[in-house]
A and B are shown apart, each in its own frame.
Chain A
Amino acid sequence: MGNDVYVVGIDMIKFGRFPETSVSKLAAQAALGALDDAGVSIKDIQALWCGNLMQASNMVGQQLLQEIGQTGIGVVNCANACATGATAFRDAWMSIKAGIYDLVLAVGVEQMGKGLLGGAGGGKGISKEGLVGSLTMPAVFAEAGMEHSRKYGTTFAQFAKVSVKNHHHSTMNPKAMYQIETPLEAVMGAEMISYPNTKLMCSVNVDGSAAAVLCSEKKARELGLGRAVKVRASVLTSDPWQERDLVMPDVNSCTRLAAKQAYEMAGVGPDDISLVELHDCFATAELLHYENLGLCADGEAGRLIDEGETALGGRVPVNCSGGLLSKGHPLGATGIANLYEVATHLRGEADKRQVNGARFGLTHVIGLGSACAIHILEKPA
């Protein structure tokens, strides 16, 4: 028997704003959904990885078990910026790969506030925001997008088309925060936040949770392989040194490094990938990652979005869920929610937005700072 790792249960809640509940109760909803999907009980779970960013010092994983069953299992609470959920998933995967456990749970959860993300300055001295440039996230990702414009002539309209596409996809995803069409004029005409990112080109701050039950091949055979999704690759990288990374947080080189390793580990290439959920925290970011993930050659991302190759029905649909732009971006939950979307397609259960014949799917998240996690999943045998 091999030592492959399978996802036998996975779920996410509909993303939204839930200020009246607690982070552990949000986590509990997804955790119970994933356990039910796997047909197992919390009493069967041997260890828990809990990803959460904003309350990372509060033992959210243990709080979760207080909500759903205090079985005494080991709990790891992890935070890794926007790669938090994917990191929890990957560490759970490693524990099975290492032969320590047969059946474990990974959860990602976040309860967000409203408003701009980014460094507000403060501390000693004076605020630096708007004095020596901007550290707000829309500006940081705008500058990364404009670097692509500099190299390849990518236009405002091409970046905006990413939002048109992802919002369109979300109209078919009942778990997305928004289900609204946003035509190109609406996207480009929305309030400018940080050129070229308008308000409709920024991810939505939402609360959310997602969870996955992972198991060994032995356990998967016991539980039934019918809907078991195989994890073909799991990779985590950080940002290697780059000439401008003192002032431009680099989301490209860590993604390229992770993609290369993930394709090698999975034994597949970009042409084998049926769908991708990638980190579209801002519309500008999505185009960069087409090239970083090898979905096209360098400089071709603008053409890809123009020709609809990454839209549902295209050559390699990207962010069928609606992406962070429309489904929403609850930081710590995002990594596992991406895995949920891809697993749902591989199981043939994505309903109106189903990518037909999906065999391999890739998930990608970036935590600025930077962390990149990529997973490649394969459809049930």
Chain B
Amino acid sequence: MSDKSVEARPLPAVPFLKIPAEGSPYLEALKCGACGALYLAERVACGKCAARGGFSPTRLANRGTLYSYSIVCRSFPGIEVPYVSAIVDLEGGGTVKGNLIGVAPEPAKLSFGMPVEVVFKDALGRKDREGHSYLSYFFQPRA
């Protein structure tokens, strides 16, 4: 017995992207209870301080700034190029890597520290073997 309405909902492209039943999607990190270090996946203990005290889910901000990037012009077969692979520092903590969209993939159009926002869109039409759609996150310039 399958619930078609549930199956029709996209799945998160990465485990740290959360899609609540109500409200907007968001990115979530796990915060070390002892030192506050953030992780994008579960760890047995904290990589920074080795505490075993556990982690608490922390919602990451939807705004940040461009820390570093590369303009990817050659990738694996079937991957559309060029695109900007961006490292973004989010407001309030956490660094995430993703595609920077809404800007020409040219060095002159990109600047360190440029303000970006996190947006959620379909995962470039990619589907898994079972035909599921996925929701991913992207960065785009903000004013």
Name A residues whose Cβ lies closer than 8 Å to a Cβ of B.
116, 120, 124-134, 136, 138-139, 142-144, 146-147, 149-150, 156, 191-197, 241, 243-244, 246-248
Chain A residues, CB < 8 A from B40: 246-247
Chain B residues, CB < 8 A from A146: 68-70, 112
For the complex, what is the distance from the CA of A142 to the CA of B14, rounded to whole Å? 23
For the complex, what is the distance from the CA of A196 to the CA of B84, rounded to whole Å? 12
Indicate whether A125 sits within 8 Å of B11 (C-beta atoms), given known contacts A130-B99, A246-B39. yes
Q: B1-9, B18-26, B51-59, B73-81: which lies at the A interface?
A: B73-81
Chain A residues, CB < 8 A from B112: 146, 149-150
For the complex, what is the distance from the CA of A277 to the CA of B24, rounded to whole Å? 51
What are 6 A-to-B residue pairs whose CB atoms are below 8 Å? A125-B13, A131-B124, A138-B70, A146-B112, A194-B85, A247-B96
Given A133-B85, A195-B71, 11 extra CB contacts under 8 A: A126-B134, A129-B76, A132-B14, A133-B97, A138-B70, A143-B87, A147-B87, A192-B71, A194-B72, A241-B48, A244-B95
Task: Report yes or no: B47 in contact with A241, Cβ–Cβ below 8 A.
Answer: yes
Task: Report yes or no: B70 in contact with A139, Cβ–Cβ below 8 A.
Answer: yes
Chain B residues, CB < 8 A from A129: 75-76, 79
Please give me the residue from chain A that is nearest to B124 by CB atom. Answer: A131
Please give me the residue from chain B that is nearest to A199 by CB atom. Answer: B74
For the complex, what is the distance from the CA of A129 to the CA of B80, rounded to whole Å? 10
The 7 closest A-B pairs by CB, nearest first: A142-B70, A195-B71, A133-B85, A247-B97, A130-B79, A133-B97, A134-B85
Shortest CB-to-CB span from B88 to chain A, Å, is: 9
For the complex, what is the distance from the CA of A116 to the CA of B11, rounded to whole Å? 29
For the complex, what is the distance from the CA of A72 to the CA of B10, rounded to whole Å? 58
Chain B residues, CB < 8 A from A143: 68-70, 85, 87
Is residue B126 within 8 Å, beta carbon to beta carbon, of the partner chain? yes
Task: Report yes or no: B95 in contact with A133, Cβ–Cβ below 8 A.
Answer: no
Task: Report yes or no: B13 in contact with A128, Cβ–Cβ below 8 A.
Answer: yes
Please give me the residue from chain A that is nearest to B112 by CB atom. Answer: A150
Please give me the residue from chain B that is nearest to A247 by CB atom. Answer: B97
Task: Report yes or no: A128 in contact with B107, Cβ–Cβ below 8 A.
Answer: no
Chain A residues, CB < 8 A from B87: 133, 143, 147, 244, 247-248
Please give me the residue from chain A that is nearest to B113 by CB atom. Answer: A150
Contact of A133 among B48, B76, B86 (CB under 8 A): B86
Is residue B142 within 8 Å, beta carbon to beta carbon, of the partner chain? no
Task: Report yes or no: A194 in contact with B70, Cβ–Cβ below 8 A.
Answer: yes
Task: Report yes or no: B70 in contact with A134, Cβ–Cβ below 8 A.
Answer: yes
Task: Report yes or no: B74 in contact with A147, Cβ–Cβ below 8 A.
Answer: no
Please give me the residue from chain B that is nearest to A243 by CB atom. Answer: B95
Chain B residues, CB < 8 A from A134: 70, 72, 75, 83, 85
Chain B residues, CB < 8 A from A243: 95
Contact of B99 among A133, A144, A248 (CB under 8 A): A133
Contact of A131 among B48, B96, B99, B128 (CB under 8 A): B99
Task: Report yes or no: B13 in contact with A132, Cβ–Cβ below 8 A.
Answer: yes
Chain B residues, CB < 8 A from A195: 70-73, 107
Chain B residues, CB < 8 A from A196: 70, 107
Is residue B61 within 8 Å, beta carbon to beta carbon, of the partner chain? no
Please give me the residue from chain A that is nearest to B134 by CB atom. Answer: A126
Shortest CB-to-CB span from A209 to chain B, Å, is: 28
Shortest CB-to-CB span from A282 to chain B, Å, is: 10
Please give me the residue from chain B that is nearest to A127 by CB atom. Answer: B126
Please give me the residue from chain A that is nearest to B136 by CB atom. Answer: A131
Please give me the residue from chain A that is nearest to B12 by CB atom. Answer: A125
Is residue B98 within 8 Å, beta carbon to beta carbon, of the partner chain? yes
Task: Report yes or no: B14 in contact with A128, Cβ–Cβ below 8 A.
Answer: yes
Shortest CB-to-CB span from A141 to chain B, Å, is: 8
Contact of A193 among B38, B68, B74 (CB under 8 A): B74
Contact of A246 among B68, B73, B95, B98 (CB under 8 A): B95
For the complex, what is the distance from the CA of A354 to the CA of B96, rounded to whole Å? 46
Chain A residues, CB < 8 A from B97: 132-133, 247-248
Chain B residues, CB < 8 A from A142: 70
Q: Mark B60-71, 1 if CB is under 8 A from A, else 0.
A: 000000011111
Shortest CB-to-CB span from A199 to chain B, Å, is: 8
